[in-house]
Amino acid sequence: MTTTMLDKAAIKKKYADEREKRLRPDGNAQYQRLERAFRDLATDPHTPWVERDPVTDHVTFAFVGGGFAGLVVGARLREAGVRDVRIIEKGGDVGGTWYWNRYPGAQCDTMSMIYLPLLEETGHIPSERYAHATEIRRHCVRIAKQFGLYEHALFHTEVIELEWLEPKKCWRVQTNRGDDFTAKYVGMGTGPLHVAKLPGIEGVERFRGKSFHTSRWDYAYTGGDGDGAPMDRLGDKRVAIIGTGATAVQCVPHLAKAAKRLFVFQRTPSSVDVRDNRPIDPAWFRSIATPGWQQRWYDNFVENQSQGTPTEDYIMDGWTEISRRIREAILRLPPSEWTPENMLAAFEDADLRKMEEIRDRVDAIVDDKETAQKLKAWYQQLCKRPCFHDSYLQAFNEPTTELVDTDGKGVERISETGVWANGRHYEVDCIVYASGFEVGTDYTLRAGFDLKGRGGRRLSEHWQEGMRTLHGLHIHGFPNAFMVQPNQAGNLVSNVPHNIVDHAKTIAAVVSHAEAEGFAEVEPTQDAEAAWVSLILGGNGSLLGSPDCTPGYYNNEGQGYTGRYRQAQGFPGGAKAFFEHMERWRASGTFEGLRFGNDGTEDHPRSAEMP
Ligand code: NDP
């Protein structure tokens, strides 16, 4: 359908009306944590808890989080000769997101070739374009084993305090298991989505049936397993799933097949475009996997995500299609008309066409016209996390499955026997909360600790007016500490691992330099940090997170990332420009903006030997 045939004004009004319905004054405060509802919901169903003695030693590098960030940084540090890297992880093994999320159908949404880190180093050939969760988790274990990261790791352990010891020039690390050890350097890779949340409605703890969050999937109850074995214990069960985000899109088809009855409680529909998963042919893989291939693929993806000159697209997926569409719309304008207003209008037109296509897809797939109507997303594609799936919409044709659309209001409460929505009670045996993860809350609240840097200053104080870093990685007043996260850096939300891979290179380069030169500490200067923050604030922000969008975590529940939150945006010019900047910064070898030193060092515990 062409834009001229669309009633643009009517569609934009519909977008605004649907947004208005969903706006709520409590924003992020509408949610509650699992353990606040009741403790059992937060329990790890995947690995038994093992008693152990507290650890009281010294390591060179302690890293908080055993997901992709901890693994890739750990691997690069081990390659650089750091022998004792300690991962501290709240899960029972490595994997992070992929440790917790084992729900049926879980798989990556970004192509495996660029989503799974260290493929070249490990030699693993992904089995599918979009690998399933078990394969990704096993890949994490492979990395940990290959790079010796299990040796010092602490699992089922949460850091509760990280404190810089000035005279000793090292960090004191305390955990909820009584550990109290020191580390010359600390890294933090707690991940953007690691604190699971529930709707803040009453009654969650009163439900007498079985309930769990998707990140705590209980296969002992449902039957089946994360490898796709059918959930044979649900055949006589009525199941409710609350939420229709990217997680629900992946697991609803499996529940629809397994349960006697499935109620899908929807507040806002996801946009669900074509997935087109396929096996990866090992012969093809070997033909492209020449030395340096994965970095070339990372570069190619990011190139195709940016607004520059079009280049051959290795990935050809929904993400690169979004960028290509926006770029083509802009390039259709004569260069003399490249004003910000014209470019925005071209983007809007292209987006309207795409969303019509996605809405038409619902009609083409879903048999029941009323259900199809309710499954249509009325917002721009990048307002909420775009989804790609080839059997989600089809699940609503299963006779077992009923969509309970709440017209933007959400479920009302939970009773002892089921779920209340639209003033009606739905009696069920099991409630699955696909209600997502905390995003817009303060970093220190989500991390569970508040770094105590030089002079006892807390990170929350340093960031009172907003995030302050150099490269999104180093913080003035917090020596020998590294954050692995995308804000004030690449901010490549469609491929989070690329951000991690790049930060890991930087950390390994900085630590190698400090160790080779015998420096006790490294820290960004105040000026360098201030200049970086100004540079970030001088940018245009990103297309994500407009407060005009329907509420969700992309736009801080409709309130936008304004004021102090504005500082958490990415590098001006986007991810490609950031990675190029960092490549030049590392290559220069001058570590501009960082100060290495030994001032006032006393009784500094020696690092493990470097080669
Ligand atoms: P989301 O936050 O995306 O979705 C939560 C869902 O719960 C939304 O549909 C939300 O509705 C709904 N909800 C919240 N409160 C209520 C309520 N009171 N009543 C009814 N519904 C309610 O969480 P997900 O776990 O789905 O996804 C989180 C993120 O994890 C994704 O955005 C993605 O980045 C990542 N992910 C990645 C995958 C991958 O392939 N790599 C796969 C799965 C997830 P509303 O929209 O109205 O707020």
Gap from CA of 408 to ligand 1 centroid (Å): 14
Same domain, 119 and 219: no
Same domain, 68 and 213: no
Question: 157 and 90 in one domain?
Answer: yes
Q: Please report which confidence band the pLDDT of residue 310 belongs to, taking 50, 70 and 90 as the band edges.
A: low
Q: Which atom of ligand 1 is nearest to the CA of 115?
A: 41
Q: What is the per-residue pLDDT across 540-572, written as a single tens digit (0 to 9) for each?
A: 756 566 778 888 888 888 877 777 778 888 999
> Which residue owns the Cα nearest ligand 1 atom 23?
436
Mean residue pLDDT across the chain: 92
- Is the CB of residue 372 below 6 angstroms from any atom belonging to ligand 1? no
Whether 494 is in a domain gets the answer yes
Which of these, 97, 94, 46, 47, lies nearest to 212 by C-alpha position?
A: 46
Asked if 76 and 185 sit in the same domain, the reply is yes
Residue 603 in domain: no
Q: Dihedrals φ, ψ of 160, to 5°?
A: -115, -15
Q: Residue 542: inside a domain, yes or no?
A: no
The answer on 252 and 175 residing in a single domain is: no
41 and 155, same domain (yes or no)? no
Report the CATH number at residue 168.
Answer: 3.50.50.60
Which of 91, 83, 89 lies closest to 184, judged by CA? 83
According to the model, what pLDDT value does residue 552 have?
84
Whether 67 and 150 map to the same domain: the answer is yes
Q: Are residues 249 and 172 in the same domain?
A: no
Whether 366 has a pLDDT exceeding 60, the answer reads yes
Shared domain for 256 and 395, answered yes or no, is: yes
Residue 202: domain span: 23-52+196-270+384-436
In this structure, are 100 and 248 located in the same domain? no
71 with 168, same domain: the answer is: yes
Does position 4 have pLDDT exceeding 60, yes or no?
A: no
Q: Domain boundary at 408, 436, 464, which?
A: 436
Q: Does one domain contain both 128 and 263?
A: no
Which residue bears the tokens 């989804």? 387
pLDDT tens figures, 18-60: 999 999 888 888 888 887 767 778 889 999 999 999 999 999 9
How many angstroms does the Cα of residue 337 sit away from the middle of ligand 1?
Answer: 39
**What is the tens place of the pLDDT at every residue in 487-511?**
999 988 889 999 999 999 999 999 9
Contact assessment for residue 546 and residue 555, using Cβ atoms and an 8 Å cutoff:
yes
- Does the residue 566 lie in any domain? no
Q: How many separate domains does the chain show?
A: 2
Q: Torsion angle of alpha carbons 236, 208, 31, 34, nearest 10°?
A: -90
Mean pLDDT value across residues 336-360? 90
**Residue 447 lies inside a defined structural domain of this protein:** yes
In percent, the amount of the chain with pLDDT more than 90 equals 75
For ligand 1, atom 34, name the residue with the nearest CA.
385
Of 421, 436, 451, which marks where a domain is finished? 436
Q: Which of 24, 116, 212, 247 to mutate to test the pocket of ligand 1 (most atoms within 8 A of CB)?
A: 247
User: Does the beta carbon of 432 lie inside 6 Å of ligand 1?
Assistant: no
Residue 4 belongs to some domain of the structure: no
Residue 358 has pLDDT above 70, yes or no: yes
Regarding the beta carbon of 267 and ligand 1, being less than 6 Å apart is answered yes
The reply to whether ligand 1 has any atom less than 6 angstroms from the CB of 389 is: no
**Helix extents (H) in 259-413:** 282-288, 293-305, 318-331, 340-365, 369-374, 392-395
Residue 530 lies in a domain: no
For residue 321, pLDDT beyond 80: yes
Report the relative pairing of strands 170-175 and 180-188 from DSSP bridges. antiparallel
**379-433 confidence digits (pLDDT tens):** 999 899 999 999 999 999 999 999 999 999 999 999 999 999 999 999 999 999 9
- Report if residue 110 sits inside a domain: yes
Ligand 1 centroid–CA 35 distance in Å is 19
Domain stop point among 419, 436, 453: 436
